[in-house]
Chain A
Amino acid sequence: MKRVVITGAGTINALGHDVPQTLAAMKEGHCGIGPLEMRDVERLAVQIGAQVREFASDTIFNRQQLALYDRFTQFALIAAREALAQSGLEFSGALSAKSGVVMGNSGGGMQTLDENYRTVYEDGKNRVHPFVVPKLMNNAAASHISMEFNLKGPSFTVASACASSNHAMAQAFQMVRSGMAPVMITGGTESMLCFGGVKAWEGLRVMSKDACRPFSATRNGMVQGEGAGVFVFEEMDHAKARGAEILAEVIGFAMTSDASDIVMPSRQGASRAIAGALQDAGVNREEVGYINAHGTGTAANDKTECSAVADVFGPHADTLMMSSTKSMHGHLIGGTGAVELLACIMALRDGVIAPTIGYEEPDPECALDVVPNEAREASVDVVLSNAFAFGGLNAVLALRRV
């Protein structure tokens, strides 16, 4: 089996328009959540979110591109450009033929759907723009990345709700590890902060109206975010041979299905995924210094996740750190695991653990070190990133410091 390393990272999210801005914001414990700015916001019961602000897409893309790129595709391309620039890779010949893109995404082009439903249902028009379908299809982001960077190998989009990014990165990891592809571009993207996207989430009554406070006894729900994270997964020898800078090594993953409830999380499903990732990576549980939690800030997720971690790690659960950066960048749904992987890389490379902000009061059911409110300096060798989706689909990744 090949070893897999990360040689490029890119993002755009509520904390920043690139990786340095995002990591600086995480180190400062900055909150990207604020009042939503969108049409008809006064008709929403939930009026906060982690929106990407000061985003002038017309200065980044030309008119022809904007006609084809929904906001989730724009985010993905911006993140991919940063990741590919950092990696220094260019794709031609055999490298191009074998390398591909696997992106996570849940909702597809929801801005496009929202706008065009308005056009036909509310405005009563009988004609929509001819590119509605290629703009809203949820493989559009992966396809446009493949076109911009000449990636002609295995390329597709993975949808598993809130675990989409982790499932996508697990696929990319597996392809590089097995020798199927020398390089895979992977991550996730989401843009669900439109009227219909927020309205749909309101219905479940799991959203907070004021803040995302994971693990705090005062938590009262999740807050949606938007954006993308994209990474370059590369076979280690390939990266070393060209003298590439290595950000971290991806050492294992596991995926499980609860097979029980469409929305309620399962302690057993989560713990099987965490234990499976440790086994796949071949690491002892004592080696894990940090977990980037799924940590949605809902009553159900946070206590279930903490008990799953306690099950797997035993006494070491009291020693390791686990934070939820969703408190800062919100829940990016299908893109969330990708942005959260940045906190994992920061922990390994910079020795800085991103905090769980908004933490007010301990909850006996979440009695772990959740790095409350302030980032912490710590040297860690192995980290995990958890994702537990609606539908009971779980995916956990393991990374090691290089």
Chain B
Amino acid sequence: MSVKDRVIAIVAEQAVLEPSDVTLENTLEDLGIDSLGLVESIFAIEEEFDITIPFNANEPEKSDFDISSVATIIAGIEKLVDSAPAA
């Protein structure tokens, strides 16, 4: 599965939706994911890709990691996966 499909699967599970119901344009709010759902999703993504996501719930706008839509989340993860040291 591509990074995109893996992220969508995680977000869909958190939102209790089918992956086919999640579009790249969706915001987490659109999908009904609240602040706790967000930190849970980030945890699931970190576990899935074995990466560390720089996200502080107090200043989401200051993180390098953009959570404004499903597309920006995928882009952020692709960047982190590419720069992760080979295990």
Contacts and interface: CB of A to CB of B under 8 A. Distances in A.
A220 B59 contact: yes
Interface residues of B, number: 12
Contacts of B58: 206, 208, 219-221, 298-300
Interface string B9-45: 0000000000000000000000000011001001100
A205 B36 contact: no
B84 interface: no
A264 B56 contact: no
Contacts of A262: 36
B43 A206 contact: no
B29 to A, nearest CB: 15
B43 A263 contact: no
Query: A-side binding surface: helix, strand, loop or mixed?
Result: loop
A33 B29 CA distance: 36
B55 to A, nearest CB: 6
Given A203-B43, A205-B42, A221 B35 contact: no
A208 B58 CA distance: 9
A147 interface: no
A204 interface: yes
A206 B57 contact: yes
A262 B40 CA distance: 14
A252 B82 CA distance: 59
Interface string A285-321: 0000000000000111000000000000000000000
B56 A221 contact: yes
Interface residues of A, number: 17
B46 to A, nearest CB: 10
Contacts of B42: 205
Contacts of B56: 205-209, 220-221
B59 A263 contact: no
Contacts of B43: 203
A298 B57 CA distance: 9
A220 B57 CA distance: 8
A219 B57 CA distance: 11
B39 A204 contact: yes
Interface string A205-235: 1111100000000011100000000000000
Interface string B65-83: 0000000000000000000
Contact of B35 (A45, A203, A220, A263): A263
Nearest to B62: A220
A209 B57 CA distance: 12
B33 to A, nearest CB: 14
Given A262-B36, A263-B36, A264-B35, A205 B55 contact: yes
Nearest to B59: A220
A146 B58 CA distance: 41
A206 B38 CA distance: 12
Interface string A34-46: 0000000000010
A305 to B, nearest CB: 14
Interface string A157-178: 0000000000000000000000
B76 to A, nearest CB: 15
Contacts of B39: 203-205
Contacts of A298: 57-58
Contacts of B57: 204-206, 221, 298-299
A46 to B, nearest CB: 10
A262 B36 CA distance: 9
Interface hub of A205, A207, A262, A264 (most chain B Cβ within 10 A) = A205
Nearest to B53: A205
B66 to A, nearest CB: 15
A324 B39 CA distance: 26
Contacts of B35: 263-264
A252 B58 CA distance: 33
Given A205-B55, A206-B56, 11 more contacts: A203-B39, A204-B39, A204-B57, A205-B56, A208-B56, A219-B58, A221-B57, A262-B36, A263-B35, A264-B35, A298-B58
Interface of A: 45, 203-209, 219-221, 262-264, 298-300
Interface of B: 35-36, 39, 42-43, 52, 55-59, 62
10 contacts: A204-B39, A205-B57, A206-B58, A208-B56, A220-B59, A221-B57, A262-B36, A263-B35, A263-B36, A299-B57
Closest 7 CB pairs of A and B: A299-B58, A205-B57, A221-B58, A220-B58, A220-B59, A205-B39, A206-B57
